[in-house]
Structure 1
Amino acid sequence: MTTLTATLPTAAEMMQHLVESAGDSLQPTDDMADLAAVIRTLLAVEARRDTRARLGGNLFDVVITSSGLQARGAVALMDEIQNGCGPVIEDPENEWFYWLVPPGSSARWEPHTHAACLGAPHTITLPSLNRTVPPGPYWFRPSTSDRLVPTAPLREALAQSRPEPTPHAALAAQLGIAI
């Protein structure tokens, strides 16, 4: 009796096959360039590599707070509200939390004394999915499925916990914009 072993191609191998089979037209059309960038980003994260992602679009925006004790209290509140908080990245070097919130949140975000919300045209480096401890940015609350942090409960949790220091001045200096 002969046993056959089949190996399925990885997502990266499938993408490479699609690119190679495109023939003469290897350049994506303008409307597909964004989709291609999103797919490359997701494949890099899946492959456990840090990757740069554009905010806005169809993925997510980011709310930035300090990562001190008060911010950790906000995570605990969101754990209760969401039955496990949505994705949060801790950046130990800047002492910030990056809360991944629904796309378009930055356009609707009202000024908050303890948080700033950024969307397009800004970018963020997503740590590989297996990075859950420092050094460098890591997943304080890992990204799971399509769950993001809802902005209304997050605003309330931040208003209650009042994380300090606020990120506004540091972000404004770093990005050269008013926050």
Structure 2
Amino acid sequence: MSAATVPTGADVMQHMIESAGPAHAPAADMADLAAMIRTLMAVEASRDTRMRLGGNLFDVVVTSAGLQARSAVALMDQVQGGCGPIIEDPDNGWFYWLVPPGSCLQWEPHAHAVCLGAPHTMTLPSLNRRVPPGPYWLRPSASDRLVPTRPLRDVLTQFRPEPTPHARFAARLRITA
């Protein structure tokens, strides 16, 4: 084609086909997206589902589920106008606060909480599970909010929930000093 020639629709289509690459090579992130969609559909369909932390969904802050942590939830309800999603795990005595993705990269060590992201995984209870047995939604998941890390950190510093999760994580992950 010369510079004065206007490409035809067929020329444009052929260029798009050639620049798209082979049909059998999906985009690198499509497998992750498909897995994430399957996971979220399973949770919505009332099934507990194992999910990888990080990515575009959320990280998690782990604290005890004792009286101090419950006081922290009550204050976060006030701060946030209804606290973002929290899963209570009564078998382990933990709260899992769902925080924005990437939070673990900025989370400074905290005496009463641990923040986890990729490559860790966790099991999300079905969206309709609101009571034990097993993990359940203490504060339901809403599509429009997560727990903000700065206010959460301040509230956890104020209430200092005990026992801290650090020793149990270290033992589980076989971390030694």
Above 0.5 in TM-score?
yes
Structure 2 residue corresponding to 1:128, chosen from 99, 113, 126: 126
For residues 131 and 52 of structure 1, the distance between their equivalents in structure 2, rounded to whole angstroms, comes to: 15
CA RMSD of aligned residues (A): 1.7
Structure 2 residue corresponding to 1:137, chosen from 127, 135, 138: 135
Structure 2 residue corresponding to 1:69, chosen from 64, 67, 77: 67
Identity of aligned residues (%): 75
For residues 145 and 67 of structure 1, the distance between their equivalents in structure 2, rounded to whole angstroms, comes to: 24
AA aligned opposite 2:107: W
Deviation track 1:136-165 (CA, whole Å, cap 9, x = no partner) reads 000010101231000000001101111000
| Count of residues paired in the alignment | 155
For residues 117 and 82 of structure 2, the distance between their equivalents in structure 1, rounded to whole angstroms, comes to: 24
For residues 130 and 178 of structure 1, the distance between their equivalents in structure 2, rounded to whole angstroms, comes to: 39
AA aligned opposite 2:140: P
Is there any run of 5+ residues in structure 2 with no aligned partner, and where? Answer: 1-22
* Displacement of 1:94: 0.7
Is there any run of 5+ residues in structure 1 with no aligned partner, and where? Answer: 1-23
Bigger radius of gyration among the two:
2
TM-score (norm 1): 0.83
For residues 121 and 38 of structure 2, the distance between their equivalents in structure 1, rounded to whole angstroms, comes to: 15
Question: What is the DSSP-based 3-state SS (H/G/I as helix, E as strand, rest coil) of the residue aligned with 2:55?
Answer: coil
Deviation track 1:67-97 (CA, whole Å, cap 9, x = no partner) reads 0000000000100000000000000111000
Are residues 115 and 33 of structure 1, via their aligned partners in 2, closer, same or farther at CA, if it must alter by over 3 Å?
Answer: same
AA aligned opposite 2:39: T
